[in-house]
């Protein structure tokens, strides 16, 4: 079943909860592109004016703990417990140290490019267990289908290089397979997902996975190694049970969809957290909040 075909939804909109904003928007997030979950359940997100937010999902308390001075896209928690943030206006990935008491330190630059040198448009980043930081560089924004993006990698010693110039059509969200043999890439310009085959931080091959998620933006794996995709154009999150199996041989499930875009609006990236790790958190670039969906029954 393809993403734009008739579908039943695994979850109803009434199952979703708004995180990071109150009904009067006295508390709100500035169009969050991504959400990262710390080991203690704390959420982190960025804003379109460089904000770095800490969000307590149980109390909806939001604190701005840093600012990159640009426009924050993807965020992730590193193996050192620091918050890493991609800022496409600054052509840089930043590191914000956070101590055991949750106190943020001074912002540092991990890697920076410019309008001509990678990473030009750092969009999303993810670590492997060896400490390598993979970064999607989306390339030229004005014509996504013909963008000249790449995947960039920063080694544990701090040296950086272009890992692969394929996929290139606005590479966006990333998800590392649980066995770290594949880096899944949302190629937004083509509405496709590709997989970069990895061996010790080098590229073996790039394969097509699916074009069944609509205008895909962000990716993530759940506790059963199923691949989820946030579709910014469909206001929906989809799921593929086994991304190694051809999509013609399995159903693409619609987890949740918001036709009106009020609870889930232009969803961009996703993460899992909560007490059991079964809560799906969705970042909504078109709204002022995150969305939480309990999938513990799944």
> Which helix (H) or strand (E) is 230 found in, with range?
strand 227-231
How much is the pLDDT for 4?
43
What are the DSSP calls for 158-190, one per residue? S-EEEEES-S-S-EEEEEE-TTSSEEEEEEGGG
Query: At 147, phi and psi to the nearest 5?
Result: -65, 160
Contact 268, 291 (CB under 8 A): no
Stated pTM of the model = 0.96
- Of 296, 290, 294, the C-alpha closest to 264 is 290
Spatial separation of the C-alpha atoms in residues 126 and 185, rounded to whole Å: 11
Judged against a pLDDT cut of 80, whether residue 8 lies above it is answered with: no
How much is the pLDDT for 199?
93
pLDDT in tens, 244-288: 988 878 899 999 999 999 999 999 999 999 999 999 999 999 999
Q: Give the pLDDT mean for 20-26.
A: 95
pLDDT band at residue 2 under the 50/70/90 scheme:
very low
Which has more confidence, 241 or 144? 241
pLDDT band at residue 102 under the 50/70/90 scheme:
confident
DSSP 129: T
Contact 29, 62 (CB under 8 A): yes
Q: Alpha-carbon dihedral of residues 124, 125, 126, 130, nearest 10 degrees?
A: 160
Is 13-294 CATH 3.40.640.10?
Answer: no
Judged against a pLDDT cut of 70, whether residue 6 lies above it is answered with: no
Cα dihedral 156, 161, 167, 171 sign: positive
Taking the domains of the chain in order of start, what are their residue ranges?
A: 13-294
Rounded to the nearest angstrom, the gap between the alpha carbon of residue 99 and the centroid of all alpha carbons in its chain is 24
DSSP 119: S
Give the lowest-confidence range in 67-71, 81-85, 158-162, 199-203: 199-203
Q: Give the pLDDT mean for 72-99.
A: 97
pLDDT band at residue 1 under the 50/70/90 scheme:
very low
| Greatest distance between any 2 Cα atoms in the chain | 51
């Amino acid at each position: 079943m393809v993403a734009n075909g008739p579908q039943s939804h695994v979850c109803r909109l009434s199952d979703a909860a708004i995180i990071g904003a109150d009904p009067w928007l006295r508390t709100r997030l500035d169009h969050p592109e991504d959400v990262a979950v710390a080991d203690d359940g704390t959420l982190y997100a960025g804003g379109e004016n460089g904000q770095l937010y800490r969000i307590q999902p149980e109390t909806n308390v939001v604190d701005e703990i840093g600012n990159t001075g640009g426009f924050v896209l993807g965020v992730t928690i590193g193996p050192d417990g620091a918050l890493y943030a991609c800022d496409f206006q600054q052509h840089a990935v930043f590191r914000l140290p956070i101590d055991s008491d949750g106190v943020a330190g001074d912002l540092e630059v991990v890697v920076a490019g410019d309008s001509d040198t990678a990473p030009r448009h750092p969009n999303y980043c993810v670590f492997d267990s060896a400490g390598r930081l993979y970064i999607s560089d989306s390339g030229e924004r004005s014509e996504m289908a013909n963008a000249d993006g790449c995947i960039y990698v920063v080694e544990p010693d701090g040296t950086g290089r272009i890992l692969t110039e394929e996929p290139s059509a606005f590479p966006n969200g990333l998800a590392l397979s649980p066995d770290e043999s594949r880096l899944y890439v949302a190629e937004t310009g083509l509405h496709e997902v590709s997989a970069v085959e990895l061996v010790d931080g080098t590229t073996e091959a790039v394969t097509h996975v699916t074009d069944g998620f609509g205008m895909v933006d962000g990716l993530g794996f759940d506790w059963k190694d199923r691949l989820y995709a946030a579709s910014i154009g469909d206001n929906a999150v989809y799921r593929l049970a086994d991304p190694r199996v051809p999509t013609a041989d399995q159903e693409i499930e619609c987890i949740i969809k918001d036709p009106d875009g009020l609870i889930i609006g232009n969803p961009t990236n996703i993460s899992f957290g909560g007490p059991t790790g079964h809560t799906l958190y969705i970042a909504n670039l078109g709204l002022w909040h995150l969305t939480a969906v309990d999938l513990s029954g799944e």
